[in-house]
Chains A and B, each alone.
Chain A
Amino acid sequence: AQSVTQLGSHVSVSEGALVLLRCNYSSSVPPYLFWYVQYPNQGLQLLLKYTSAATLVKGINGFEAEFKKSETSFHLTKPSAHMSDAAEYFCAVSDWEGGANSKLTFGKGITLSVRP
Chain B
Amino acid sequence: DGGITQSPKYLFRKEGQNVTLSCEQNLNHDAMYWYRQDPGQGLRLIYYSQIVNDFQKGDIAEGYSVSREKKESFPLTVTSAQKNPTAFYLCASSISQTYEQYFGPGTRLTVT
Q: A9-B40, A90-B43, A106-B43 are in contact. Are A41 and B106 (CB under 8 A)?
A: yes
Centre residue among A49, A104, A108 by max chain B CB count within 10 A: A104
Partner of B42, one of A95, A98, A102, A109: A109
* Bound-state Cα–Cα, A107 to B43, Å: 8
Residues of A within 8 A of B102 (CB): 46
Tally chain A residues at the interface, Cβ within 8 Å.
25
Q: Answer yes or no: A45 CB below 8 A from chain B CBs.
A: yes
| Complex: chain A residue closest to B45, CB-CB | A103
Q: Answer yes or no: A24 CB below 8 A from chain B CBs.
A: no
Binary B-proximity of A32-75 (CB < 8 A = 1, otherwise 0): 10101000011111100100000000000000000000000000
Q: Answer yes or no: B108 CB below 8 A from chain A CBs.
A: yes
Decide: A94 and B40 in contact? CB cutoff 8 A: no
Decide: A94 and B99 in contact? CB cutoff 8 A: yes
The residues of B with any CB-CB pair to A shorter than 8 Å are 4, 6, 33, 40-43, 45, 48, 50, 56, 88, 90, 92, 94, 96-106, 108
Q: A103-B48, A106-B42, A107-B42 are in contact. Are A43 and B97 (CB under 8 A)?
A: no
Q: A106-B43, A109-B42 are in contact. Are A94 and B97 (CB under 8 A)?
A: yes
**A-B residue pairs, 8 tightest by C-beta:** A43-B103, A108-B42, A44-B103, A102-B97, A103-B97, A106-B43, A43-B105, A102-B98
Decide: A98 and B43 in contact? CB cutoff 8 A: no
Decide: A42 and B105 in contact? CB cutoff 8 A: yes
Residues of A within 8 A of B33 (CB): 103
B24: shortest Cβ distance to chain A, in Å?
Answer: 14
Centre residue among B88, B96, B103 by max chain A CB count within 10 A: B103
* Bound-state Cα–Cα, A90 to B97, Å: 18
Binary B-proximity of A79-99 (CB < 8 A = 1, otherwise 0): 000000000001000111110
Residues of B within 8 A of A49 (CB): 100
B110: shortest Cβ distance to chain A, in Å?
Answer: 13
